[in-house]
A and B are shown apart, each in its own frame.
Chain A
């Protein structure tokens, strides 16, 4: 069955970076774009961007262009998002989800989410 397994919660210091992972299983990794979504505590959702696992092509929300870097490792079916120069504004839960390259809708499967806390 399809599963997107995200790495565990992270406590990081202001100014540091963190790399979140999203390991896909149960489907052909290169058939689906991986998207990342931010949810600040108790608030709405923000679309960060996506990566094409086959080509490595990325498309970012301008708001996150200097904050997030999306990569993949096809050998392990894992997508990564690195967040840099962290501030308290980056404290949130981050989700990975998928959208079919052939047009299936965004979000039929989601990771469980990973909470990032930025604190000294």
Chain B
């Protein structure tokens, strides 16, 4: 059974810093790896989706990478802003097309 882990559970950085969020998964037989953002008390918003044949995806200041062989994905946020403060979740999509989620990293960007 797929297990997805995100470390650290919480992260606090000063504004302007570049940062990396980590995600690891146990089963490399995935269709894709997705990163979501969740604001307090809200639903999830999809940020980036990396298909299994891809190595990375970029959207604005966000860059996500995927290394299936090592079971790892990273989300890189450049020049962080207070508006980036949220919980970031990664999710792996397996053969049943279901998503297995990590428990998230709560990011706080201090002004």
**A is bound by B:** no
User: Which A residues form the contact surface with B (CB < 8 A)?
Assistant: none
